[in-house]
Amino acid sequence: MPSRRRRMVRRPALDRIKPERLKSLSPVIVRTLARIFTRIGRILDEGQPCEQAGFRRGFSSIDHIHTVTRLIEVSREYKMPLCLTFIDSKKAFNTVETEAVIEALDNHGVPTQYIRMLRELYDNFMTRIHHSTRKSLWT
């Protein structure tokens, strides 16, 4: 790019950006991230077996309830013992190992640019709380 053109495209100083402008950028960022997550969801959905139907498009928990009911009926009909186990995964896995999730995404064929973006979101995530005129430290 010619140096003359480079000088024309300058970033405004942070103190000169109006809050309204920043607020108007938020929906754009959110929509962009939503599209990326939708693409990742499609990639992951294609790689899932039918047994993982609880949260997939076109399936519901009713499918699993029907399957369990059918298993119980068949085991009673043929007088076969049946043992069922239910795990509350929310309580069993109350924390998520971020690196394991990212590795699983890679194993399921999610494009590297999405994985890199997610890794950066997790690794460099900082928050700051604004309330009235008070601001917290970055954590």
Model confidence pLDDT, tens digit, residues 11-48: 555 566 666 666 666 777 778 888 888 888 888 888 77
The CA dihedral of 51, 95, 32, 28, to the nearest 10 degrees, is 140
pTM value? 0.42
Asked if 82 and 75 touch (Cβ cutoff 8 Å), the reply is yes
Alpha carbon 69 to its chain's center: 32
Model confidence pLDDT, tens digit, residues 66-123: 888 998 999 999 998 888 777 665 565 556 777 888 888 899 898 998 888 888 877 7
